[in-house]
Amino acid sequence: MNRLIPKTTLACGLLVMTAAAWLLAAQQVAPDLLLSNGKVITVDERFSIAQAIAIKGDRIVAVGSNSELIPLAGPKTRRIDLRGRAVIPGLIDNHMHLLRAGATWKWEVRWDGVGSRRVALDMLRSRVRTASPGAWVYNLGGWTVDQFSDDKRPFTRDELDEIAPNNPVLLQASYYETYVNSRALEALGLDGKSSPNWLVRDSSGRATGRIQEAGVREVAAKIPVASAEEVETSSVGMIKDLNRAGLTSFGSAGCEADLLPLYRRLADQGKLTVRVYCIAGVGTGTSSEQVNRALPQIAQLKMFQGDNYIDNIFFGESVYGPLHDPMFLEKSNPRPDQLALWRQIITEIAKARLPLHVHAELEDTIDAFLDQIEAVNKEYPIKNLRWVLAHVNRLQTRHLTRMKDLGMYAAVNPWSVINGGINSRIFGDSAYDMAPLATIQNSGITWGFGSDGSRANQILPFTTLWWAVTGKMVGGTKVLHQTISREDALVAHTRKNAYLVFQENNLGSIQPGKLADLVVLDRDYLTIPADQIKDIQTVMTIVGGKLAFDAEAK
Ligand SMILES: [Zn+2]
């Protein structure tokens, strides 16, 4: 038998080569890219730390020490000296309204992570300066005035008029309220006498420019829609910003049919530097007739027909509109007739063996959903379908026990990163357990972080990780009683999320065989003071072995 292996190779293999080197030698090729002299936070099962990573094509082929990996480099290998910097796996957001965000990104004055009202206004001013007369200047969520540590006052019509006398300005704070100037009131048709009750007026009857929660979506929908060409530029710019933030993969809530072809085209051209795992479904309406019409469409749905860049993976995030918890409601009361329709729909989803990722927030809603899922599970087992409850800021121990028994997972989308102030006014003391992070972590359930951005929340992952570790919302106000360790938080934004998007064999940790999605950081996530986690900057983002963002590139 030994005759098949030349003796010299055998001796060499046994005596000199390490396992990592052997893997490469077996492929008889030098790596395309070698990163060395770093602190590689692999986020593997043992949370091990390495120094170097070898990449061939779009995959990691070896991870180890400098002395093991540097000799593998050939004349054509591109070498990157990490100069001691920390490297983590590409960050995964398990729930973002990605495609929709790209359609407006370029025009939005984004205030993700901005903790000062003065700085926010400076950003607004500079945008107004470059805007052509009459053009809309706006943002659509991702912030609230409570995140401003210097001044939490709402924006006034007069203040915005002074900054932008010639442009309509619309500033949407989360889904809570919107602030507009006179030009916007005019453009929205709200300057006349008749006006909806969500338009706040002062004692003299003059509109203050403040629009309450009930009107937020309606006025946002009136912002002019950009051309397809402009939407492409905007989306490409957003993708670059996401890579700069350290993000490389998304559970994408929505995956709108009019926007998805753009992403397909970018992927086919090798230009897509985020991976898009779609959470999408079919409209189920409200009446039982509409629900019955939707059922055959559900039966026809197919998942996992895509590739490593774009795929459909979940039915979601809405199952049945009337049981979709609003953001600032204290208590829900799902009716039996509504739950019966909800059950009809999820029965069809279970029958078709589809994964489900469903919006669920309030305690009674989660209880009621679990009642229905337990009943359906008896007839059509959901184990291995990775059914996920998403948002779940009110998750309780009893829910976690039931979810674990059913083989379910939790996508934690922490709205309090920006909504902490509003939450404590509405929900009182219980706001400080939204989400109950330690309870979720200690339950042993598989769970991960999503932002639910770009409207319901900010999208920066290091802001989310900082919130999880320190319990502080943007601006620094303490909003959480339960925090978790920075290791557990990172696992929830990488390896656990890889599982939540069905990519545990491809993503989520820096290990041989996985796709080479990595982020090089300007400081060490594991050892810097916790308050600095939000300030971490990405030096380099690599997606599929290619440099997608390089802070040092000119
Ligand atoms: Zn949702």
Residue 278's closest CA among 258, 301, 256?
256
- Ligand 1 is a single-atom ion; what residues have CB below 5 A from it? 317, 359
**For the packed helices 461-470 and 486-493, what is the interaxial angle rounded to 10 degrees?**
150
Distance CA(194)–CA(324), nearest Å, equals 31
Residue 216's closest CA among 175, 156, 183?
175
One-letter amino acid identity for 109?
Answer: V
One-letter amino acid identity for 432?
Answer: Y
Contacts of 291 (CB under 8 A, 6+ apart): 284, 285, 320, 341, 344, 345
Which pLDDT belongs to residue 7? 41
Residue 357 C-beta-side C-alpha neighbours within 13 Å = 33
Q: How far is the CA of 452 from the centre of ligand 1 (A)?
A: 7
Which pLDDT belongs to residue 28? 59
Q: How far is the CA of 358 from the centre of ligand 1 (A)?
A: 8
CA dist 375 to 294, 371, 379, Å?
21, 6, 7
- Asked whether 226 and 107 are in contact (CB, 8 A), the reply is yes
CA-based Rg of the chain, rounded to a whole angstrom? 25
Q: How far is the CA of 503 from the centre of ligand 1 (A)?
A: 22
One-letter amino acid identity for 527?
Answer: T
pTM value? Answer: 0.94
Q: How far is the CA of 390 from the centre of ligand 1 (A)?
A: 7
Q: How far is the CA of 388 from the centre of ligand 1 (A)?
A: 12
Query: Among positive and negative, which fits the CA dihedral 439, 440, 442, 448?
Result: negative
> Which residues are paired to 87 by β-bridges?
40, 520
Tokens 């607004």 — which residue? 124
Q: How far is the CA of 187 from the centre of ligand 1 (A)?
A: 30
Q: How far is the CA of 32 from the centre of ligand 1 (A)?
A: 41
Per-residue pLDDT of the chain (554 residues; tens, 9 = 90+): 334 444 444 444 444 445 555 555 545 589 999 999 999 999 999 999 999 999 999 999 999 999 999 999 999 999 999 999 999 999 999 999 999 999 999 999 999 999 999 999 999 999 999 999 999 999 999 999 999 999 999 999 999 999 999 999 999 999 999 999 999 999 999 988 767 999 999 999 999 999 999 999 999 999 999 999 999 999 999 999 999 999 999 999 999 999 999 999 999 999 999 999 999 999 999 999 999 999 999 999 999 999 999 999 999 999 999 999 989 998 999 999 999 999 999 999 999 999 999 999 999 999 999 999 999 999 999 999 999 999 999 999 999 999 999 999 999 999 999 999 999 999 999 999 999 999 999 999 999 999 999 999 999 999 999 999 999 999 999 999 999 999 999 999 999 999 999 999 999 999 999 999 999 999 999 999 999 999 999 999 999 999 999 999 86
Which pLDDT belongs to residue 27? 53
Which pLDDT belongs to residue 25? 54
Distance CA(152)–CA(483), nearest Å, equals 25
Q: Give percent helix, percent strand, percent coil of the chain, each to the nearest 5.
A: 40, 20, 40
Distance CA(57)–CA(273), nearest Å, equals 15
Helices (H), 253-411: 260-268, 288-300, 336-351, 363-379, 397-406
Q: How far is the CA of 293 from the centre of ligand 1 (A)?
A: 24
**For the packed helices 228-244 and 260-268, what is the interaxial angle rounded to 10 degrees?**
70
Q: How far is the CA of 151 from the centre of ligand 1 (A)?
A: 30
Which pLDDT belongs to residue 191? 85
Which pLDDT belongs to residue 434? 96
Which pLDDT belongs to residue 193? 72
Q: How far is the CA of 283 from the centre of ligand 1 (A)?
A: 15
Secondary element (H or E) of residue 28: none
Tokens at 171, concatenated: 């500033």
